[in-house]
Amino acid sequence: MKIVKEAKTFNQVDTELLIVGVQKNCDHIKGWNNFISFYGENVEEWIRSGDISTERKKMTKIPYTGLNQKIKRVLFVGLGDTKTLTENELRETFGLVGKQLRALKTNNFTIWLESFTASPIDEQTIAFLFAEGAGLGFYQVPHYKTTSNEVDVYMDEVHFVTDGDIDEIAASYEVGKIYADAVNEARSLVNLPPNLLTATDLANYAEQLAKQYDFEIEILNKADLEELGMGGILSVNKGSTEEPRLITIKYQATEKWEDVVGLVGKGVTYDTGGYSIKSKTGMVGMKGDMGGAAAVLGAMKIIGELRPNKNVVAVIGSTDNMISGDAFKPDDVITTYSGKTVEVLNTDAEGRLVLADAVTYAKQQGANYLIDVATLTGGVITALGYDKTGSLTNNEAFFDSFIEASIETGEFVWGMPLTERDKKRIRKSDIADLNNSPGSDGHMIFAGGFVGEFVGDTPWIHLDIAGTSDASSPYDLGPKGGTGVMVRTLATFIERLGEQLN
């Protein structure tokens, strides 16, 4: 999408669609009288009668029959009382606008920025939120149907009616677009069928990303992992005919490789549960078990575009978890890359084994802080539902900074406790240092806490996105399917840390 030009007046609008925000009290908007003169006084009567709704997130399409022959229709977007309008609500509203744009098959349009302003939301912020929200709402899940003759549409052109600084507005818009594009790429990775996204395919995608943004990248294959003794990821991979991969991407922003944030993603491309096999219904959707890897790669795309002043290393452990005569099994004892041994009590608790090796490797690559992201447990859904990401931490100050970023992006994160009693249960085994499944009670805490056993004193945040990485039905900012959750929060957090160094 690109900005074509700005219009100072409505008569200069050069697109078929004009997008206008309508509030409960529109008359205080600068330029509202000019809009009435342009469209006609009947607009105010339609608003009073409810034919044009001012209710938040309500859309009203009205044909335009005035003097500007370019404009064919106006999309009125309800904002409600803007005294209570938040940035997140405006982002979600713009997500619904994006859905309307796709439904209308409109590839160029004009938005009147002033009509969406609400204290303290200025035109630059509106431009950012529009690009992000509409870009997310416009997204459609790729499909493989052979019967569709519809030509795909794209948001190719955007025009603004504004008397503000168009360069600053354009810059804000471009950043919002970068965020939306990165989330949508992460969504598409999650939505790929497992036969089209193996660990090798995921590594190939990471290589393309690294080449695009001049990142340093390292891909370790099965032989490399065997040489290093990465028994966590290798044990999960034992039942598969597909080789595993350990992907490391480095973004160096400063002269010295120091004060590095490590982003670690679970990249299990399909999870049968192994010999602790899932039910037939529980197995459907397990193509999305690499949602943590997708989140990390999406964040790295934003980092590559915006180049924040913060060193970042991304590590992704990728394999599938299959069943064969060679597959690992309950009662096995494995040795992880750290040297710690694990008694396997549940082969469906495989993600934490992959992450154990990945966080250890991230520390070896210089990570001074760690954030791991994983579709790790059904327990987080039982505890928090499908709209909240569960988290654990060993450093409250680090976590508080991250929460500020999550509030800014509107991605809800909730901290769970990790007590000494929990840690003792993870360490309870007659024959090994740890066990990988202490029980179903507190499942989310035990899974994340297991990863924490490999972190040491490094400030660490664990994010369990099992409930938030996939939407079972359409929502304001997207369709059913992969959500790309945590892409925006991870990138925003890294940006914030970079700004603190400037």
Return the active site residues: 278, 352
Other CB atoms within a 10 A radius of the CB of residue 476 amount to 17
CA dist., res. 308 & res. 252, Å (int) = 10
The DSSP letter of residue 347 is T
Contact 17, 109 (CB under 8 A): yes
Contact 158, 3 (CB under 8 A): yes
Contact 292, 267 (CB under 8 A): yes
CA dist., res. 177 & res. 301, Å (int) = 12
Q: Is the backbone of residue 307 left (phi > 0), alpha (psi -120 to 50) or beta?
A: left
| All residues at 6 or more sequence positions from 402 whose CB lies less than 8 Å from its CB, including other chains | 371, 413, 461, 489, 493
Residue 457 assigned as binding residue: no
CA dist., res. 86 & res. 88, Å (int) = 5
End-to-end CA distance of the chain: 30
Which residue carries 């406790």 as its tokens?
417
The DSSP letter of residue 143 is -
Contact 333, 429 (CB under 8 A): no
Q: Which residues pair with 321 in a beta bridge?
A: 271
How big is the chain by its Cα radius of gyration, in Å? 25
Residue 348 assigned as binding residue: yes
Contact 106, 11 (CB under 8 A): no
| All residues at 6 or more sequence positions from 147 whose CB lies less than 8 Å from its CB, including other chains | none
Residue 350 assigned as binding residue: yes
CA dist., res. 392 & res. 133, Å (int) = 29
Contact 51, 63 (CB under 8 A): no
Residue 266 assigned as binding residue: yes
User: What residues form the annotated binding site for Mn(2+)?
Assistant: 266, 271, 289, 348, 350
User: What residues form the annotated binding site?
Assistant: 266, 271, 289, 348, 350
